Structure 1
Amino acid sequence: MNAIQLNGTARTEKGKKAAASLRSAGMVPCNLYGSKENKSFSLSNAEVRHLIYTPDFQIADINLDGSTHRAIVKEIQMDPVTDEVTHLDFLAIENGKSITVQLPVRIIGGSPKGVRDGGKLQQKVRKLKVKTIPERLVPALELNLEHLELGKTFRVSDINIEGIEVMHAASIPVASVFVPRVVKEEPKAAAASAAAPAAAAKK
Structure 2
Amino acid sequence: MDKLSQWLEGVGIPHIRTREPGGTPLGEKIRDLLLDPAHAEMNEETEVLLYTASRAQLAAQIISPALKEGKWVLSDRYIDATLAYQGYGRGMDLQALRRIQDWATKGLWPHRTVLLDCSIQVAFQRMQGREGEPDRMEQEKESFHQKVREGYLELAKGEPQRFIVLNAANPLDQVLEEFRKKFWEPLSRKMQ
- After TM superposition, is the score higher than 0.5? no
Q: TM-score, normalised by structure 2?
A: 0.26
Q: TM-score, normalised by structure 1?
A: 0.25
Instruction: Name whichever structure is richer in helix by fraction.
Output: 2
Instruction: Name whichever structure is richer in strand by fraction.
Output: 1
Higher RCO (C-alpha under 8 Å, 6+ residues apart):
2
Between structure 1 and structure 2, the one with the greater Rg is: 1
